[in-house]
Structure 1
């Protein structure tokens, strides 16, 4: 299972469980909180009525006053109120009054007048100077039939002469509880969903960042050139920098070892030629023409060493680069024309036929210095293998999402054993006519420059000669 999925599942489990327990806890608190608020209101109402009814209870004229009619009228009222969007169309308070013995003197419902309520907690406790309240179900098996009762003492000269109780059915509060629970559930699920989306995004970002770093490490381990992923601070940035430092140290060590080995091998031949020619030149009896020939050998081998050193330095610089440092829009046709002009003497001396068919308005996004060196090496190589009177053709090809600068030179085909090795470092074929080899670094340099630009070097035998193509992503062409 992928790391991102594992992180998301852990986050999902944590957020889901935390959200469930939080919602459940809050939901369980809604019902008692609403009932506590209602009970507090009942206490106020009962105590207010206790003061209002004091005189009638003391005088025994409770049923002789207008109070029974008032309570009856109260029970039939329809408030038509909108309380936070919920309609209230009937009153729900029941009010009854008992004497000091607990006998019901007045009942707004008219049901229990004259009955003994002295055993009910609201009356029993209040008559004994305590807080009297109860919650009683009309149907013991149905919680929704529960009714809250709160009693208040009617006091005369410090003596309790009666109790007034205000009752309210919990069913009248249920719509408000249900609405609060629905809103809480909707809001809670929304927040959990948002939290999961954020968690999914964070998991995706972290997994993507780690995959980029893993791909970079994999590419480096396979010897490919890859750009170091960029992170804005934090542990990932430190990890990426640590991986890059490790790569630099390992590559630097391997690079030096490889170059010392190959350079030592390649320097043996020209140094041996120079040493042999110099030893022969030390003799005094050598004819002048032989002396001139050996001196020429020393000069040629010295020049070859100089070219090898210069190209090695350029190649080393390119191989150590992980990404292009200076990208600009360059007119490709103008760059090719500039190089052809620089080699005009050599082209005219060999009577070569050159055709340049790169579109004049085409621009290439590249490192101008590296691209110029790569094309110069490519042109040098083509001129070396094109016979007198031969042809050179510069053209542009396109294949899907990539485009190529194609260079065709008329001449002999590359041997089958060498076609796959021409871009290897220090690998070179004898030049037609002279039989001499080059440094073997030109096409290797071109291949490295192409990799830096996200492209590739391709060398093929075609009818009448050799075609070299520099493949580049089409996004670099405009």
Structure 2
């Protein structure tokens, strides 16, 4: 299972459990919280009524005054209020008054006058100077029919002479409880959803960062050119830096070992020729032979110098992972510079040069490397073009690519050699001299092209050979 999915599943488990416990705890506290707030209001109301009704209760005129009519009118009121988006169209308080023996002397519902309520806690405890409250079901089997009752004492010079009880059914509070629970569930679900989305994005970002670093390590292990992923601080940046440092150390060691072997191998032949000529020159010989051996020493020394210079140029390019600078390079001007540098050879062989590049066509890249690459291409083409042959340079833009082509009239390249032309130290004999080159020129060109994000292709076409370079436009 991918690391990102595992991280996300752990995050989902953590957020899910946390959300469940938090929501369940809060949900369990909603109903008691609402009832406690309501009970506190009932306490205030009961005590207020106890003071209002005290004088009439002492005089024994509660039932004779307008209180029964007032309480009845109160029960019939329709507030037409909207509380938290919920309509309230009736009052829910029931108010009754009991005497010192617990008998009901006044009831807003008119149902319990004369009944003995002395055994109910709201009356029983209040008459004894304690806080009297109870919650009783009006229907024994229905838990939703419970009603809260809160009593307050009616005092006469400190003596309790009666009790005022204010009652409120819990069912009147249920719509507010339900609404609060629904909103809490929606908000909780939304927060959990946002948390999971954040976790998914975090897991995706971490997985993507690790995939980029893994891709870079795989590309390096396969010998492909790759750019080191960039991270802004943190452990990922430290990891990327450590991987790059390790790559540099390992690649540098292997690179030096490989180049020592190849350089040693390639220098064996010219060194042997120089040593042999030097040994022969130590003996007496005709001047003509001596001049020939001196010429051999000179040519082999030049060959060694050329090989070393080519290796150094190739090493500089291979060790780079990106362009040091990027500018708009006019291709026509670049081609003219390369042609001018080989003007003596071109005129000496009487070649026909066709330069078909639009002066306004430009390539984004490093001018110095591009000039070296085109110079190597042209030098290679001149080696195989017969006297009086044709050289053709052209370029065009097609969609998101810029295509550069160099055609030279020549014999077809053998099929067995086509796939190896850019291989290091691989070279075909030159038609004029029969000798091979260093085999580094086309390899250098390919490295430069890849450094610019392009591709190189060499193939036989009608009448000769064509090298095509494709670059991102």
The answer to whether TM tops 0.5 is yes
Moved more, 43-52 or 136-145: 136-145
Report if aligned partners of 2:137, 2:143 keep a CA contact under 8 Å in 1: yes
The 5-angstrom pairing of residues 84-123 of structure 1 reads 84-123=84-123
1:366 aligns with 2:358: no
Tell me which residue corresponds to 1:145: 145
TM-superposed CA distance for 1:158, in Å, is 2.5
Q: CA deviation at 1:191?
A: 1.3
Deviation string, structure 1 residues 257-278 (Cα, Å, up to 9, x no partner):
1111111000011111111122
How far apart, in 2, do the equivalents of 1:146 and 1:402 lie?
81
Deviation, structure 1 residue 40:
0.2
Deviation at 1:415, TM superposition (A): 2.3
**How many angstroms does 1:402 deviate by?**
4.1
**Equivalences for 1:153-172 in 2 at 5 Å?**
153-172=153-172
Q: C-alpha offsets along residues 79-108 of structure 1, whole Å, 9 cap, x if unaligned? A: 222223322221111000001111101000
Deviation at 1:348, TM superposition (A): 1.2
**Corresponding position of 2:54:** 54
After superposition, where does 1:185-334 map in structure 2 within 5 Å?
185-284=185-284, 286-334=285-333
1:78 aligns with 2:78: yes
Offset, 1:143: 2.8
State the superposition RMSD in angstroms: 1.6
The separation in 1 between residues aligned to 2:340 and 2:222, in whole angstroms, is: 41
Q: Which runs of 5+ in 1 are unaligned?
A: none
User: Distance between the aligned counterparts of 2:35 and 2:358, measured in 1?
Assistant: 85
1:441 Cα deviation after fit = 0.9
* Deviation at residue 123 of structure 1 after TM alignment: 0.8
Matches within 5 A, 1:335-346: 335-346=334-345
Aligned length in residues? 473
After the TM superposition, which residues 368-407 of structure 1 pair with which residues of structure 2 at under 5 Å, given as runs?
368-396=367-395, 402-407=401-406
SS of residue in 2 equivalent to 1:305: helix
- SS of alignment partner, residue 30 of structure 1: helix
For residue 114 of structure 1, give the secondary structure of its aligned residue in structure 2. coil
What residue ranges of structure 2 are gaps of 5+ in the alignment? none
Q: In 2, distance between residues paired with 1:60 and 1:300?
A: 140
> Is the CA contact 2:357–2:396 (under 8 Å) kept in the aligned structure 1?
no
Q: What's the offset of the Cα at 1:374?
A: 0.7
Residue of structure 2 equivalent to 1:445: 444
**Cα offset, 1:224, TM superposition:** 0.6
Report the secondary structure of 2:434's partner residue: coil
- Corresponding residue for residue 454 of structure 2: 455
Contact 2:98 2:104 in 1 (8 A): yes
> 74-83 or 436-445: which moved more?
74-83
Local SS of the residue matching 1:140: coil
Indicate if the aligned counterparts of 2:363 and 2:402 stay in contact, CA closer than 8 A: no
Deviation larger for 1-10 or 309-318? 1-10
Q: Distance in 1 between matches of 2:5 and 2:323?
A: 35
> Do the aligned partners of 2:377 and 2:441 also contact (CA within 8 Å) in 1?
yes
The CA distance in 1 between the partners of 2:142 and 2:350, in whole Å, is 111
